[in-house]
Amino acid sequence: MHLFTLIFLVAVALSLGLRLWLANRQIGHVQQHRAQVPADFADSIPLTAHQRAADYTISRVRFSRLEMGFEALILLGWTLGGGLDFIDRLWQATGWPPLLAGTATVLSVIVIGGLLDQPFALWRTFVVEARYGFNRTRPATYLGDLFKQGLLLLILGLPLLVLILWLMARMGAAWWLYVWVVWTGFSLFMAWAFPRFIAPLFNRFEPLPDGALRERVEALLARAGFRSKGIYVMDGSKRSGHGNAYFTGLGRNKRIVFFDTLIDKLSPEEIEAVLAHELGHYRHRHVQKAMWLMSALSLAGLALLAWLMGQNWFYAGLGVSIPSTHMALLLFLIALPSFTFPLTPLFAWRSRKQEFEADAFAHLQTGGAAPLVHALVKLYRDNASTLTPDPLHSAYYDSHPPASIRVEHLHRLDTAGTT
């Protein structure tokens, strides 16, 4: 057995084993605490809602275990099973120029991978989410989304792929710098274009109506010094019963978006607190920091790929017989997650730290913890978010602090403000 093949198998096994162990911990911990609402929430969340959230969490995690096993099998099938090599040989046999054949190979793998994922996506949407009353996606909407995603892949993704493969083949040893510039520019363009041109393809966005809520929101924006291209309500109920709010876009193209489900569930004061939290991310420049981090990581990743592309063991160890730029790119994207999975908790920790910062900003803007705490409790209840996640599972994955820790942090801010 090739040495790198062994290293790859060990990485896949360790990654899968760790993920399954964490999933089992989450299931066990949530089940253990299903019978009683945590004391901090006993007055605001009934036992039936707590148990519904526990059951929903357990169902999702159990289903995710099946996905993990399937993903590992598909990964091994693409690499050591010869799947990538087989597709590559089919396109090479056409006699097409290397750029065209390479593009067809990569696109084929993307399409086949998407099709293989569909049974899980369908079950997740129409069984798991529907069982707990969250799914509102009609089959026609689901198929329409797939069609639009396919069009975007052809219109935006295909030209980008061709350009990247061309740069990899033509720009010599420094190709990765050119690709990094192109990828960074594309990412910035997508961040700018998403709210105005892409998101409206999937959802309807209407201006927030005049009234008490809009007045509150505009007053908050003025205090925070936030300028946007508008405040919109999105028909999130078209697909899901979950509620949320976010701001999106870059520069003058920023938009504030509320899900209609959020508007229906929270009071104006609570919605103001949720928005203040989102503005906290803006005030602390979390989005910009994330883009800088991703840009640095992509630069490092491309430099690593440039080195791996010249190593025959990289191809042979992952089941590819004919080295090429497009196969190097595919192998790198497919195999990398098995080696970088141990870094997941670092990103989760960074995200939770930023959530605390955004909460502190909201606390300052809304005059105390109560509005945001009330909003969070309603969202935890209505979104069936478990109040009792396993501490290790949460530390490894969760981008937001657990409910009890987050509420406690907000109350501590109240206490600090009165001393």
- Active-site residue flag, 278: yes
Active-site annotation holder among 270, 272, 359, 382: 359
Phi, psi of 410 (to 5 degrees): -65, -40
The whole-angstrom distance between residue 116's C-alpha and the CA centroid of its chain comes to: 20
Annotated binding site: 277, 281, 355
Tokens of 160: 């980008």
Handedness of CA 154, 123, 239, 337 (dihedral sign): negative
- The alpha carbon torsion through 393, 396, 399, 401 (nearest 10 deg) reads 60
Contact call for residues 234 and 259 (beta carbons, < 8 A): yes
Using a CB cutoff of 8 Å and minimum separation of 24, what contacts does 153-159 make?
153/110, 156/190, 157/110, 158/103, 158/107
CA 78/CA 82 separation, integer angstroms: 6
Annotated binding site for Zn(2+): 277, 281, 355
Cα-only R_g, the chain? 24
- Active-site residue flag, 359: yes
Spatial neighbors of 254 by CB under 8 A, at least 6 apart, are 195, 226, 227, 228, 229, 247, 248
Active-site annotation holder among 278, 357, 382, 398: 278
Phi, psi of 58 (to 5 degrees): -65, -40
Contact call for residues 262 and 383 (beta carbons, < 8 A): no
CA 405/CA 237 separation, integer angstroms: 29
Active site residue ranges: 278, 359
